[in-house]
Amino acid sequence: MTTGTRSVLLPVLLIVVVDVLAFTMILPLLPFYAEHFGATPLEVGALTSVFALASLIAGPLLGRWSDRHGRRPVLMLSQAGTLIGLLITAWAPSLAWVFVGRIIAGLTAGNLAVAQATIADVTEPSKRSRTFGLIGAAFGLGFLIGPAISAGLVKINLVGPLLGAAALTVISLICTTTMIPRKTRLSDAVEPPPPSRRELFAIPGLRLLLAQFFGYTLSFSTFTAGLALFCERRYTWNGRPFHVSEVAWVLAAVGLWGLVVQGGLIRPLLKRFGERRLVAVGFACTALGFALLAPTSLLGLSGLGLFTVAGLISGLGTGVTRPSLMGLISQTAPDSAQGAVIGFTQSLQSASMVVGGLLSGALIHADALGGYALIAAAFAAVAGLLALLRKA
């Protein structure tokens, strides 16, 4: 890694950690916060979906703006919108205002996509999978620390995690302003304009990779959107159902395992198996892990024991799949289209959150807890079959 690459990569990773901390601090809170205003499980799912729908509309624009005008101003815009959305949510007098806050945050939710485009700017194509693995490690660190902070803040006040996330967003905005250079691309050559969506789909191999990515995000979004309410209805701790603190500690454990997988295991696994085979294996593990959540007991395991086994297997799967798949997508797309392609993956992720939020909310509302787990597993299994279609 050159000095120039390091001078951009390190602050970007720092910003990702701070942003993920803010995100994971409110992740275990929002379902219960919405229930505080009388929301049903279906309305909780809709809360995830409206955020994603707003991001779906704005994501491609943010990606293309970052290609044309630079990564830093778009990062700053995204972080400012996140801050406003968090404050509106924290001070919401009703459920309707919670929806308003999430819509505003969704319209500017381009932090991760632009951060990934920035990394693509300063990293050689052959090294991008490993570097995207560092983003995964940053996610793992955020998921480890953020929920733990949330578990502490919620004991002080229900809106504590929201205000804490807002404070972290301010820090992230300051870091972006002072640490990210105006220019991040390695080359000064004049580049062609970003391709249209039709031209993107015409790039050999890219369409199938994007379909796999959509399957991955649809599976993961369905799982995460319903996780809090699933845990509340299925598991107990000290004689009472799971609530914000318990779900927060579950997410912290997920973060710790993700940090191990993406911070330590991903490099030797990539070296041994390569991205394509690792994607297929990752989908298989994800599908198996999510499917194991459906029964209440299996092979002598029950309750939290089976939940732990399922989490370890699915965590390994999701941990190796995303960076490997993003590396393949980035290698397949031309340098001039990195922002557009990654912005499009953000749109696919947003679309999956729209579907996953509504689907998980509807299934849990109908008390179909096993169906919720199996549909998340099915999406991963289909994506795995698509991965096998790709020629070696």
Give the tens place of pLDDT for each residue, 341-378.
776 787 788 889 899 999 999 999 999 999 999 999 99
Window from 18-27, 303-312, 378-387 with minimum mean pLDDT: 18-27
342 vs 171: which has the higher pLDDT: 171
The kind and range of the H/E element at 158 are none
- pTM, to two decimals: 0.79
Please give the single-letter amino acid code of residue 357.
G
- What is the spatial distance between Cα 225 and Cα 362, in angstroms, rounded to a whole number? 11
184 vs 113: which has the higher pLDDT: 113
Report the alpha-carbon angle 286-289-293, nearest 5. Answer: 135
State the average pLDDT over residues 3-30: 76
**pLDDT band per the 50, 70, 90 thresholds, residue 299:** low
* CA dihedral of 123, 324, 138, 247, whole degrees rounded to 10: 160
162 vs 332: which has the higher pLDDT: 162
Residue 128 has pLDDT above 70, yes or no: no
Residue 14 has pLDDT above 90, yes or no: no
Residue 192 has pLDDT above 60, yes or no: no
Residue 121 has pLDDT above 80, yes or no: no
Window from 106-115, 167-176, 187-196 with minimum mean pLDDT: 187-196
Q: How many helices (H) and strands (E) does the chain have?
A: 15, 4
**pLDDT band per the 50, 70, 90 thresholds, residue 195:** low
Residue with tokens 């549909």: 375
Query: Are the CB atoms for 109 and 58 separated by under 8 Å?
Result: yes
Burial (CB count within 10 angstroms: exposed 0-12, middle 13-18, buried 19+), residue 297: exposed
**pLDDT band per the 50, 70, 90 thresholds, residue 190:** very low
pLDDT at 189: 46
Pick the CATH number of 3-181+204-389 from 1.20.1250.20, 3.40.50.300, 1.20.59.10, 3.20.20.80: 1.20.1250.20
State the helix-helix crossing angle for 160-179 and 128-156, rounded to 10 degrees: 140
Residue 4 has pLDDT above 60, yes or no: no
State the average pLDDT over residues 282-292: 94
Residue 289 has pLDDT above 90, yes or no: yes
**pLDDT band per the 50, 70, 90 thresholds, residue 188:** very low
- Strands (DSSP E) contained in the chain are 236-237, 240-241, 297-298, 301-302
Query: Are the CB atoms for 142 and 255 separated by under 8 Å?
Result: yes
| CA neighbor of 29 nearest in space, from 123, 131, 171, 160 | 160
pLDDT at 2: 52
| CA neighbor of 133 nearest in space, from 292, 13, 302 | 13
pLDDT at 191: 52
pLDDT at 367: 92
- 30-76 pLDDT, tens digit each: 999 999 999 999 999 999 889 888 878 877 777 778 777 778 888 88
Please give the single-letter amino acid code of residue 93.
P
Phi, psi for residue 241 in degrees, rounded to 5? -60, 155
State the average pLDDT over residues 257-279: 81
* Entry field: residues in the chain: 392
